[in-house]
């Protein structure tokens, strides 16, 4: 790994406080000043063991907002080509805009829409039999993230953070790289009724990726002075008040200092080699685009962030995967995502991290194989059957699982409902989706509510 040696939290804060005066009579500095630093046993973000041993230790989830067409990408349906233009159920069969080919040793069918990912076919476990509960973006986006299409519930990332905690307290446990807001907005990364520390922290590309992460005081020295004063005041206040809420809050300042120190380093890609930039297709100095998101995701994963979600584009149907008007709008979107995603897999593999990182590639629903008008260029929403893939930690590689019918309209074999998908993801992390519960409003809630079956056939 070519990452910089990282400062420990204590070192980070000491360096932040470099030059801070030790105020006489106010706690006196040294270890006593940092009485709150040892994580309290009840620290909700402390790393925790899973229910049973598992390979995947962390997750990188890629979510394409708007609904990626399954029949144009990973679900090859020859009949859509041979019977194009004919009618079924009063609708016209629409020919996919891209050709498919068998790829890799496994021979998985992947279309020309994804040339780089096609090269990675032997790493993927493609699921062609997913089903969602709703045909609207808003509800389906909630569904793929929270398992519920109606009421807001905690997000998958929040559940995982709640279950497993995190390894680097200088960074949030659940990070969402989202340049734009998706459908249902922040509800898709919400902790909802789980403790708020499990909420996804949204990072937006640009100059202030995390709110208030940029020091407002002109010099680090000044901020070090001020934080030193805060902690000294708190240390003095703590005398005679053995209260975890007080020391915990002091700890939060220490972590914030660490975060402020570490975050710029995480987002500073200058230390990445030219080869890496090239692999991801990222121009040096560029601070946005999916390649930026993918590379930052790898850096966050290296630092121990438990759940990293990359949201591609957002709710604005003008430029997302919601291709009602013309399937050709998938072309530039895929071009933006294809190479960086393939690069992420290569990069993780090279660094020995793919075995314990679960990569999820998903969307809220697929797109209709048939359309109302013979000349329609686009496809509509299709929750009954769609595609996602998994790769890495504990997943069978080079596999295509489940099948749709000959037109890609309905699931024909091995249905994987979104609840099953979630149950399987938790299983790959060593979590039993029926045991991962949280008591709220008189009920033990689960990510999978009252449903969900682990798809054991795809577990390596």
Partner 1 sequence: MSQSPIIPTVRGRLLALAAAVGLAGCVSTAAAADTAGIDFFEHAVRPLLADKCYSCHSAGAKKIKGSLRLDTYAGMIGGGESGKPAVVPGKPESSQIITAVHRSTEDLAMPPKEADKLSNQEQADLEKWVAMGAPHPEANGAVAAPVVDRAALMAKGREFWSFKPLAEVAVPAAGAGWADSDIDRFIAAGHKDKGLTPTPDADRRTLIRRATYDLTGLPPTPEESDAFVADQAPDAYARLVDRLLASPRYGEQWGRHWLDVARYADTAGDSADYPVPQAWRYRDWVISAFNRDLPYDHFIRAQIAGDLLPAGDDEERRGNLVATGFIALAKRFSVAPEREKQLTIEDTIDTLGHAVLGLSLNCARCHDHKFDPIPTTDYYALYGIFDSTRYPFAGSEENHRPFDLVRLVSEEEEAKATGGKAAEIRAEQEHLQALWKERDGGKRARRKAAEKARLADHGDGKELKPEEQAALAEQAKKDAEAHAAEDGKRRDDGAIKHEIEETQKRHQGLVDNLPDYLQAYAFAVGEMEQPHDVQVQKRGDLSKLGDQVRRGFPTVLGGQKVAAGTTGSGRLELAGWLSEPSNPLTARVMVNRLWHWHFGRGLVATTNDFGTRGAAPVNPALLDWLAKRFIAEGWSVKRLQREIMLSRTYRQGWSGDEHNRTIDPDNTLCWRFDRRRLSAEEIRDSMLAVSGRLDLSSAGPHPFPPLKDWGYSQHVQFFAVYPSSHRAVYVMQQRLRKHPFFELFDGADTSFSTGVRASASTPLQSLFLMNDRFVFDQAQAIAERAPGDAAEQVANVYRNVLGRAASADEVQVASTYLARFQAEAGAAGMDAKAGVASLARALLASNEFMFLE
Residue 37 near residue 10 (C-beta atoms within 8 A): yes
Residue 56 near residue 428 (C-beta atoms within 8 A): yes
Minimum distance between the CB of residue 400 and partner 1, rounded to whole angstroms?
18
Minimum distance between the CB of residue 242 and partner 1, rounded to whole angstroms?
7
Minimum distance between the CB of residue 2 and partner 1, rounded to whole angstroms?
27
Q: Kindly tell me which of 334 and 454 has the beta carbon lying closer to partner 1.
A: 454
Q: Kindly tell me which of 118 and 263 has the beta carbon lying closer to partner 1.
A: 263
Integer Cα distance of 145 and 334 in angstroms: 21
| Distance (Å) of CA 328 to CA 319, 331, 363, 456 | 12, 5, 18, 36
Sign of the four-CA dihedral 333, 334, 338, 339: negative
Minimum distance between the CB of residue 11 and partner 1, rounded to whole angstroms?
17
Q: Kindly tell me which of 300 and 343 has the beta carbon lying closer to partner 1.
A: 300
Q: Kindly tell me which of 107 and 211 has the beta carbon lying closer to partner 1.
A: 211
Integer Cα distance of 29 and 76 in angstroms: 66
Q: Kindly tell me which of 5 and 218 has the beta carbon lying closer to partner 1.
A: 218
Q: Kindly tell me which of 378 and 393 has the beta carbon lying closer to partner 1.
A: 378
| Distance (Å) of CA 286 to CA 2, 94, 206, 212, 356 | 20, 38, 10, 22, 29
Minimum distance between the CB of residue 189 and partner 1, rounded to whole angstroms?
11
Question: Tokens 């016209």 map to which residue?
Answer: 92
| Distance (Å) of CA 219 to CA 14, 16, 216, 253 | 15, 10, 9, 18
Minimum distance between the CB of residue 55 and partner 1, rounded to whole angstroms?
17
Residue 392 near residue 56 (C-beta atoms within 8 A): yes
Neighbours of 270 (CB within 10 A): 6
């Amino acid at each position: 790994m070519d990452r910089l040696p990282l400062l420990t939290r204590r070192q980070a804060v000491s360096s932040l406080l470099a030059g801070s005066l030790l105020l006489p009579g106010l706690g006196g500095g040294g270890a006593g000043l940092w009485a709150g630093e040892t994580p309290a046993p009840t620290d909700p973000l402390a790393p925790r063991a899973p229910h049973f041993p598992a390979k995947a230790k962390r997750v990188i989830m890629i979510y394409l907002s708007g609904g990626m067409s399954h029949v144009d990408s990973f679900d090859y349906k020859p009949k859509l080509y041979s019977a194009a233009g004919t009618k079924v159920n009063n609708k016209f069969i629409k020919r996919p805009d891209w050709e498919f080919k068998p790829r890799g040793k496994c021979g998985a069918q992947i279309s020309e829409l994804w040339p780089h990912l096609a090269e990675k076919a032997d790493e993927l476990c493609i699921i062609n039999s997913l089903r969602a509960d709703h045909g609207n973006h808003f509800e389906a986006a909630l569904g793929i993230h929270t398992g519920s299409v109606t009421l807001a519930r905690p997000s998958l990332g929040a559940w995982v953070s709640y279950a497993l905690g995190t390894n680097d307290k200088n960074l949030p446990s659940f990070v969402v790289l989202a340049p734009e807001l998706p459908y249902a907005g922040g509800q898709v990364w919400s902790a909802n009724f789980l403790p708020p520390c499990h909420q996804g922290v949204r990072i937006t590309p640009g100059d202030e990726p995390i709110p208030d992460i940029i020091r407002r005081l002109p010099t680090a020295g000044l901020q070090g002075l001020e934080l030193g004063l805060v902690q000294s005041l708190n240390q003095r206040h703590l005398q005679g008040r053995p209260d975890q809420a007080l020391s915990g809050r002091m700890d939060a300042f220490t972590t914030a200092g660490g975060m402020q120190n570490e975050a710029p380093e995480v987002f500073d890609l200058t230390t990445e080699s030219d080869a890496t930039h090239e692999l991801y297709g990222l121009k040096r100095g560029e601070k946005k685009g999916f390649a930026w998101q993918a590379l930052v995701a790898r850096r966050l994963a290296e630092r121990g962030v438990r759940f990293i979600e990359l949201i591609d584009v957002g709710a604005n149907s003008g430029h997302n995967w919601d291709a009602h008007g013309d399937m050709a709008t998938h072309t530039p979107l895929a071009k933006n995502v294809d190479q960086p995603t393939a690069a992420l897999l290569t990069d993780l593999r090279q660094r020995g991290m793919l075995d314990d990182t679960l990569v999820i590639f998903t969307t809220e629903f697929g797109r209709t194989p048939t359309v109302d008008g013979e000349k329609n260029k686009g496809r509509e929403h299709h929750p009954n059957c769609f595609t996602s893939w998994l790769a890495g930690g504990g997943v069978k590689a080079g596999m295509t699982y489940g099948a749709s019918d000959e037109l890609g309209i309905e699931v024909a074999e091995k249905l994987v409902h979104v609840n099953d998908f979630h149950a399987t993801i938790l299983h790959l992390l060593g979590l039993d989706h029926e045991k991962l519960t949280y008591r709220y409003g008189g009920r033990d809630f689960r990510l999978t509510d009252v449903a969900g079956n682990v798809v054991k056939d795809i577990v390596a």
